[in-house]
């Protein structure tokens, strides 16, 4: 693998070419630095395959190739994005010439499905943070409310047990109407990706009725689990508390979906919603 220094030399040369191309036209069309150097950019995760939305727990990064040689690793990409932000390189230039996402690619679905989407999203957020003096965007914005990652997970779990379609959730999150370089829409793609992953996984989940959940004293049957969760739901135990009990707090969408307690979590969320009228009626009951 080439060194980080070599990558930065390429970047400096590219930025210089931008400055040259911005000068008055001398009659000769400017040469595209990316085409001239014949390197392309990709998002590679989990050590290799250039496929969209894999290696979820890895940091967003683009890898850059010079011919057949890979020159960018995780550290190099961080430095690359930082240097591009510091040099005020427009998002479109980074999108098209560093991340190999053509100008014709504008719809959210096209962008979201591209293997370099996470790198583009990371760059957009870095630019936004610079323009807003380091302010950090909330995890998601649903309607008029700002949501933390924890609250976003809870909302998506409710939608999941209500069997909301991916299209409907995309509408609710505003991702289908993605405005050009809109940081809020970019922000909501994380929530959308989380829901899309869960929605695809749920039909494939296989459970063991004799070992349906594992918490407290150990494994519980499906019937035992339902009895316990019904009592919790009638008492109004927060979803956050149940996540902690099931040892699901802080896990990614993929990790949660693979966890043995995920089916029990979905059971609880459904019971929590179904028993809300009971809790409301009990709350209105006068104290004797």
How does pLDDT run across 32-79, given as a tens digit for each residue?
Answer: 333 333 333 333 233 233 333 434 443 344 454 333 444 456 677 778
Section 133-149 average pLDDT: 87
- CA 195 – CA 256 distance, rounded (Å): 12
8 Å CB contact between 263 and 212:
yes
Q: Which residue has the higher pLDDT, 84 or 38?
A: 84
Which residue's entry shows tokens 């190999």? 100
The per-residue pLDDT of the chain, averaged, comes to 77
pLDDT band at residue 27, thresholds of 50, 70 and 90? Answer: very low
């Amino acid at each position: 693998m080439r060194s980080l220094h070599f990558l930065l030399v390429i970047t400096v040369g590219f930025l210089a070419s931008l400055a040259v191309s911005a000068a008055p036209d001398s009659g000769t069309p400017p040469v595209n630095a990316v085409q001239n150097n014949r390197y392309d950019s990709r998002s590679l995760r989990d050590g290799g395959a250039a496929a969209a939305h894999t290696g979820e727990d890895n940091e967003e990064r683009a890898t850059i190739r010079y011919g057949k040689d890979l020159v960018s690793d995780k550290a190099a990409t961080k430095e690359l994005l930082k240097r591009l932000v510091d040099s005020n390189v427009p998002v479109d230039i980074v999108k098209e010439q560093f991340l190999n996402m053509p100008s014709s690619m504008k719809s959210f679905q096209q962008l979201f499905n591209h293997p370099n989407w996470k790198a583009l999203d990371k760059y957009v957020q870095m630019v936004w943070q610079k323009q807003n003096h380091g302010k950090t965007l909330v995890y998601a914005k649903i309607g008029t409310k700002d949501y933390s990652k924890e609250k976003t997970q809870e909302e998506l779990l409710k939608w999941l047990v209500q069997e909301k379609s991916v299209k409907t959730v995309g509408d609710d999150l505003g991702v289908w109407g993605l405005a050009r370089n809109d940081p809020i829409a970019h922000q909501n793609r994380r929530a959308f990706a989380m829901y899309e992953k869960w929605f695809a996984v749920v039909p494939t989940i296989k459970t063991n009725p004799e070992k349906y959940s594992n918490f407290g004293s150990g494994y519980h049957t499906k019937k035992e689990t339902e009895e316990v969760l019904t009592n919790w739901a009638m008492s109004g135990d927060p979803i956050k508390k149940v996540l902690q009990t099931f040892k699901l707090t802080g896990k990614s969408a993929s990790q949660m979906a693979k966890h043995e307690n995920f089916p029990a979590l979905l059971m609880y969320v459904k019971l929590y919603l179904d028993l809300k009228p009971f809790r409301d009626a009990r709350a209105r009951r006068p104290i004797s």
